Homo-oligomer: A and B are copies of this chain.
Amino acid sequence: MKKLINSPERLLAESLDGFAAAHSDIVVLGSGRKFIRRRELTPGKVALVSGGGSGHEPLHNGFVGYGMLDAACPGQIFTSPTPDQVIEATNAVAGEAGVLFIVKNYAGDRMNFEIAAELAQCRTATTIVDDDVAVENSSRGAGRRGVAGTLIIEKVVGAAAERGADLNDCAAIGQRVNAATRTMGVALTSCTVPAIGKPTFDLEADEMELGVGIHGEPGRKRVKLAQADSIVEELLTPILNDLPNPAPTDLLLLVNGFGGTPVSELYLTYDVARRRLERRGLRVARSLVGSFVTSLEMAGCSITVSLLDPETTDLWDHPVRTAALRW
């Protein structure tokens, strides 16, 4: 295992310390390193709290700041944050407007955010993200997995909260954006969880895993490596077939690297996807390309398509000021 670390046990703490120091203008590290929160809170606003296993950076810590999250709870690598973490984060950012939890659909995450909702001293609501079309049930819980589309929900709802939407509205917007968002990924290589020390799964030199999860969970099928044109088609077809009425409309196209994919390959993948969408009469009105929801050093990427209406577009365009996303 080749990692730039001191030890698997110290990785998360040292990485969080570095993150908080490098972005001390935007964030503060909570006591006991249980959460990252905004340095400056906006009184009266609905607070957004998310979190999940680490190893997907910059998700979620990198999305704490103006226009997105108020706090994020980093679990150990690929491990849910504890209820204790979520409760402390919630209490640190909660105001009278309440707190919206944005939770990826994994059994551990859902359970621990539910416990926190019961024990937190404020009003809460929860938006579940399950954008991954690859599998209907995963090794990590019932129903579809929450993957790269999470950042779109965090961005759009974050903007709505800044503009004064109340807790019910924020939850409704989150649910609406999730319902309009679909993702599917492909892995060319596995990742290695530091505490385990060997690859999560094995792929032959000429194989790829279509529909892979962001923890290296199995996808739909393992097939021979193919050209980007063919891979993109394999990802886009189930996405488009699953979207509610993707008739001529504007959409947001996110090509997300899993951590070990060169930037040039992500833009190439984006180019192929964009052309194919436009050939089907769809308009790519907004774009995002980069490694935002990663799986440590896994090579591969996911494609996310999110249908845009004028309100969602306007919220997407709202200014954002976080470590990983700024405009």
Contact = CB atoms under 8 A, between A and B. Distances in A.
15 contacts: A2-B188, A2-B225, A4-B266, A4-B268, A6-B229, A6-B272, A14-B271, A14-B272, A18-B270, A22-B288, A55-B262, A57-B264, A260-B260, A263-B291, A264-B296
B4 A231 contact: yes
A254 to B, nearest CB: 10
A303 to B, nearest CB: 11
B264 A262 contact: no
A55 B264 contact: yes
B15 A261 contact: no
A119 interface: no
Nearest to A2: B188
A12 B262 CA distance: 12
Contacts of A5: 227-228, 265, 268
Interface string A219-260: 000000101110100000000000000000000000000011
Nearest to A296: B262
Interface string A289-304: 1010010110111000
Given A14-B271, A21-B274, A58-B263, A6 B297 contact: no
Contact of A270 (B22, B188, B261): B22
Contact of A22 (B14, B54, B262, B289): B289
Given A297-B262, A297-B299, A326-B326, A287 B7 contact: no
B225 A268 contact: no
Contacts of A16: 267
A289 to B, nearest CB: 5
Nearest to A326: B326
A16 B263 CA distance: 11
A54 B268 CA distance: 13
List the number of copies, as a whole number: 2
A60 B65 CA distance: 28
Interface string A268-289: 1111101000000000100111
A122 B297 CA distance: 45
A176 interface: no
A241 to B, nearest CB: 22
Contacts of A291: 263, 291
Contacts of A58: 263
Contacts of A259: 260, 262-263
A264 B189 contact: no
A227 B268 contact: no
Nearest to A327: B326
B287 A4 contact: no
Interface string A80-107: 0000000000000000000000000000
A205 interface: yes
A58 B296 CA distance: 20
A311 interface: no
A186 B57 CA distance: 21
Interface in A137-155: none
